[in-house]
Amino acid sequence: MAHYLVLYGSYRRDRMGIRLADYIVRGLCERGDDAELIDAKAVGLPMLDRMFKEYGEGEAPPSMASLAAKIRAADGFVFVTGEYNWGVQPGLKNLTDHFLEEWFWRPAAIASYSAGRLGGARANSHWHAILSEMGMAVISSTLTVGQIGQALDADARPTGEGGAALDRGFPRFADDLRWWADAALAQRARSKPPY
């Protein structure tokens, strides 16, 4: 069993992407893994001023310290992102940037969405570079869900052609993430990371 954090970053009032985050959490758990939703809006970190590592022992805000411990304990991550003006969501980026070493040497997967047909593909591409730079092994499988309001209902259940496509793509996505999580765990046990 692997333990994953599913990170979601929209702060908007009428959040559709939370449906995709809930779908992924449920899907990973149904496969026998453990997955926890980390909602940037609920965590409520301030705009980045000081990274977690820049605080003295016991001085970081409690929500930041708690999340740092969860990140360090996770076997892998799923970043669920919308696309804002061809770029990444500021809420998720802000949450991610508060940490660095905590992310190292684990896999990350990217699932993107949009109200339109492209499914957040441009943000998905940006996140690949960002997460790689932050020390994660970004898996090759991604999910892109267009017309999110039609692909998943309010209970995060697949509907229509978009939902059927998501159901077809999810098993490979989850298998790829699990393979890399297992590989990274074995390698960390065998050899100390190079820095």
Would you give the DSSP letter of residue 94? H
User: Is position 32 within any domain?
Assistant: yes
Confidence category of residue 148, pLDDT binned at 50, 70, 90:
very high
> b or e along 54-79 (b: 16 or more beta carbons within 10 Å of the residue's beta carbon)?
eeeeeebbeebeebbeebeebbbbbb
User: Is position 73 within any domain?
Assistant: yes
Outline where 52-190 has alpha helix (H).
Answer: 62-73, 90-97, 121-133, 148-151, 160-190
Residue ranges making up the domain that contains 37:
3-190
81 strand-pairing partners:
112
Whether the CA torsion 23, 29, 31, 34 is positive or negative: it is: positive
Count how many domains the chain has: 1
Residue 93: CATH number of its domain: 3.40.50.360
pTM score: 0.97
User: Is position 176 within any domain?
Assistant: yes
User: Is position 114 within any domain?
Assistant: yes
User: Is position 137 within any domain?
Assistant: yes
Q: How far is CA 166 from CA 48, 83, 93, 153, 173, in A?
A: 34, 18, 24, 13, 10
User: Is position 195 within any domain?
Assistant: no
pLDDT tens-digit series, residues 84-126: 888 899 999 999 999 999 999 999 999 999 998 889 999 999 9
